[in-house]
Amino acid sequence: MSKQINVALIGNPNTGKTSVFNALTGLNQKVGNYPGITVEKKEGICKLARGVKAHIIDLPGTYSLNASSLDENVVIELLLNKNDKDFPDIAVVVTDVENLKRNLLLFTQIKDLEIPTVLVINMADRMSYKGISLDIDYLEKKLNTKIALISTRKNEGIDTLKQLISNYKEVSVTPCIDTTQIDTEYFGNLKKAFPNQLLYKLWLVITQDVNFGKTDRNEIDAVANFKTKSKGDLKRLQQKETIKRYQFINNALDKGQTVDLSQAKDLRIKLDRILTHKVWGYAIFGIILLTIFQAIYDWSSIPMDFIDSAFASFSEWTKNMLPQGAFTNLLAEGIIPGLGGIVIFIPQIAFLFLFIAVLEESGYMSRVVFLMDRIMRRFGLSGKSVVPLISGTACAIPAIMATRNIESWKERLITILVTPFTTCSARLPVYLIIIALVIPEGRILGLSYQALTLMLLYLIGFGTAILSAYILNKILKIKSKTFFVIEMPNYKLPLFKNVALTVIEKTKSFIFGAGKIILAISIILWFLASYGPGEQFNNAEDIVKTEYASENLSFEALQQKIASHKLEHSFIGIAGHAIEPTIRPLGYDWKIGIAIVSSFAAREVFVGTLATIYSVGSDEEETIKNRMAGEVNPILGGPLFTFASGISLLLFYAFAMQCMSTLAIVKKETNSWKWPILQLVIMTAFAYIVALIAFQFLK
């Protein structure tokens, strides 16, 4: 049986910690959430010499052990809790060669917890470019640790790091500074009160508001109550601690690091002047976004069409090859289309995260966040919210997954809740057929009325998302620090391995997270549409044959009539009739009711459902339009699809949460059913009210 050691990978944001994690673990990694919270947990396995395995946890980026966010709390809770199953045998602190002084603050704090700590100095390939030279032997002696000088870009130094992890017992645990020097009297009294406890750990327990899991609560409470000083005094002691640490770091770097500024060749300042410019910055970002989303639509359409047709063919093949019966129908009409409903999203998710990963890896994303923060902050959002909101025009699912890099839980939650208002590509089939039915073909200033209507629906969606964010910011009483700190990393060429692993992990996260829920609901919807009570459903074939006996229908037309009759009297058809009194004031009949209910599986199902109800093959779009145009309103008489009912339906789909996949991913990202249920109820109620007002006003 091979031995396993726990390794905590820790560092400031943008030090290349993820690159080190990927270099050590490769594909032997998984991503989830920490139990009970929404902070992402990345862990992987690294095989070392002599059959030893290192269980590596990539902890959230943190600047110090003075926690200011949920992410940083996770780091402190783990490092202070020896009872945690993931408590590290060794801490690996990753630093960036260009920001060594700032990065070393965190290193000295972790070292003072007397955990074996090695120092990784990353991006060594940039040293000559930046005119930096290091005396590693001197720094190892001064910092009392082992150092691995690495370059993940060139894959250099990784073997050295693995060797240091293997020999973790040889790493010194001597603290960097004497904690009592901060305030001799206070820390002296603290040591007397708790003689068997590590002094720096006691200090962190007193100053940090964190959850210590399985640690002895009585012991922790006793320490936490040792606040003989006011909050202001404790804050001053923290500042004094930081000063002492930087004195120690400056002393070490004085001889251990040499920087020759004359050698530094830096384009960063020139690029920043353009990319964060108050006019050109927004223009460039807009062009990049248009390019990205055009590429997502163009590139994903080919694999999505292939997946769609492949699953349809597979479903048909299953029907033909297996004996007729309930099990075959479940496979062909429930499970296989359900799986197709999951897999079809993969191209959009993969391409979106490909572009996001490239923008993040290159260093440009930080500039976008900085640029947008001044606008988004007014609406209770973060600068980082702009990526999910605009990503939502492709699909809300990857867009909501993209909120993970928003530090403030309140801002992240608001972004998750409002993103579905942005018009996604799944709404397009609904919009296009309804616009074609009710908006006349005319032009104003060279632009068609139909194109302007479509553009207006996009603008309404985005505007509603921003307005909702503003309201939620006022309503939600969630304590969440909203100060804005963004690291401006250097520009660099993205590493293919990092980009590929990001795309693979995000896609896997969707398939195995939301996918299970989507498949389950698809099967339920299939059952409701395939079965029904009473004679009308069970004897549908005889009833339809008798009714249309005189019309001499072809076999295909007759089968479509039977399918339409069965659907009307199935459980989902009965549901459509049941909700008809509710939706009649919006200008809809029971057929539209069925389409609304069934399109909860996916909005684009609306058109296909209506095609089945109207006994028309879904591939004959013109015929669908003609049949829909000829439908008569059973109450008011005249056409069912008028300008009033059409606008009402467009607005309903613009605002309603008609997507079970989105609800599934919201549940996964918020770790609770509370938020997706509220989202479903509030968005649908809002959609209903707006659609009602529109129809009653326009009719």
Q: What is the pLDDT of residues 177-214, one digit of tens each?
A: 888 888 888 888 888 877 778 888 888 888 876 554 44
Residue 617 has pLDDT above 50, yes or no: no
Highest mean pLDDT among 65-74, 452-461, 484-493: 452-461
User: Is 11 annotated among the ligand-binding residues?
Assistant: yes
Question: Can you give the pLDDT at residue 263?
Answer: 53
User: Is 99 annotated among the ligand-binding residues?
Assistant: no
Q: Calculate what percentage of the chain has a pLDDT beyond 90.
A: 19
User: Is 22 annotated among the ligand-binding residues?
Assistant: yes
Q: What is the dihedral of CA 656, 658, 662, 666, to 10 degrees?
A: 50
Tell me which residue of 246, 201, 195 sits closest to 220, measured CA to CA.
201
Q: For the chain, count helices (H), then strands (E).
A: 32, 11
User: Is 626 annotated among the ligand-binding residues?
Assistant: no
Q: What is the dihedral of CA 284, 289, 292, 296, to 10 degrees?
A: -170
User: Is 17 annotated among the ligand-binding residues?
Assistant: yes
User: Is 211 annotated among the ligand-binding residues?
Assistant: no
What average pLDDT does the segment 448-469 reach?
84
Q: Calculate what percentage of the chain has a pLDDT beyond 70.
A: 82
Q: What is the mean pLDDT of the chain?
A: 80
What average pLDDT does the segment 122-132 reach?
80
User: Is 14 annotated among the ligand-binding residues?
Assistant: yes
Question: Can you give the pLDDT at residue 222?
Answer: 57
Which has more pLDDT, 584 or 3?
584
- Look up residue 379 and give its DSSP letter: G
User: Is 589 annotated among the ligand-binding residues?
Assistant: no
What average pLDDT does the segment 150-173 reach?
90
User: Is 23 annotated among the ligand-binding residues?
Assistant: yes
pLDDT band at residue 676 under the 50/70/90 scheme? very high
User: Is 159 annotated among the ligand-binding residues?
Assistant: no
Highest mean pLDDT among 35-44, 186-195, 272-281, 682-691: 682-691
Highest mean pLDDT among 98-107, 205-214, 391-400: 98-107
Residue 686 has pLDDT above 90, yes or no: yes
Question: Can you give the pLDDT at residue 546?
Answer: 83
What sign does the dihedral 179-185-187-188 (CA atoms) show?
positive
Residue 645 has pLDDT above 90, yes or no: no
Please give the Cα distance from 120 to 92 (Å, whole number): 7
Residue with tokens 């999910």: 388
What average pLDDT does the segment 545-572 reach?
80
Tell me which residue of 684, 190, 607, 282 sits closest to 429, measured CA to CA.
607
Please give the Cα distance from 226 to 406 (Å, whole number): 34
What average pLDDT does the segment 81-93 reach?
91
Q: What is the DSSP string of 76-104?
A: HHHHH-TTSTT--SEEEEEEEGGGHHHHH
User: Is 13 annotated among the ligand-binding residues?
Assistant: yes
User: Is 515 annotated among the ligand-binding residues?
Assistant: no
User: Is 125 annotated among the ligand-binding residues?
Assistant: yes
Question: Can you give the pLDDT at residue 62?
Answer: 87
User: Is 286 annotated among the ligand-binding residues?
Assistant: no
What average pLDDT does the segment 113-137 reach?
87
Q: What's the CA angle centered on 678, arms 673 and 680, to 5 degrees?
A: 95
User: Is 357 annotated among the ligand-binding residues?
Assistant: no
Whether 675 contacts 666, CB under 8 Å? yes
Question: Can you give the pLDDT at residue 343?
Answer: 78
User: Is 26 annotated among the ligand-binding residues?
Assistant: yes
Instruction: Give the type of residue at 238.
Output: Q
Please give the Cα distance from 580 to 632 (Å, whole number): 15
Plot region of 445 (φ>0 → left; ψ -120 to 50 → alpha; else → beta): left
Least confident span in 223-227, 234-238, 371-375, 559-563: 223-227
Residue 78 has pLDDT above 80, yes or no: yes
List all residues 6 or more positions away from 573 whose beta carbon is below 8 Å from its beta carbon: 529, 532, 566, 567, 590, 594
Please give the Cα distance from 425 to 461 (Å, whole number): 13
Q: Which domains does the chain have, with CATH numbers?
A: 4-170 (3.40.50.300), 179-244 (no CATH), 521-698 (no CATH)
Question: Can you give the pLDDT at residue 622?
Answer: 40
User: Is 59 annotated among the ligand-binding residues?
Assistant: yes
Question: Can you give the pLDDT at residue 340?
Answer: 76
> Under DSSP, is residue 481 helix (H, G, I), strand (E, B) or coil?
coil
User: Is 60 annotated among the ligand-binding residues?
Assistant: yes
List all residues 6 or more positions away from 628 whose beta carbon is below 8 Å from its beta carbon: 433, 437, 610, 614, 640, 641
User: Is 422 annotated among the ligand-binding residues?
Assistant: no
Residue 353 has pLDDT above 70, yes or no: yes
Question: Can you give the pLDDT at residue 615?
Answer: 40
What average pLDDT does the segment 258-265 reach?
64
pLDDT band at residue 623 under the 50/70/90 scheme? very low
- Look up residue 258 and give its DSSP letter: E
pLDDT, tens digit (0-9, with 9 covering 90-100), for 473-493: 888 877 665 555 566 667 778
User: Is 338 annotated among the ligand-binding residues?
Assistant: no
Helix H or strand E encompassing 214: none
User: Is 12 annotated among the ligand-binding residues?
Assistant: yes
User: Is 15 annotated among the ligand-binding residues?
Assistant: yes
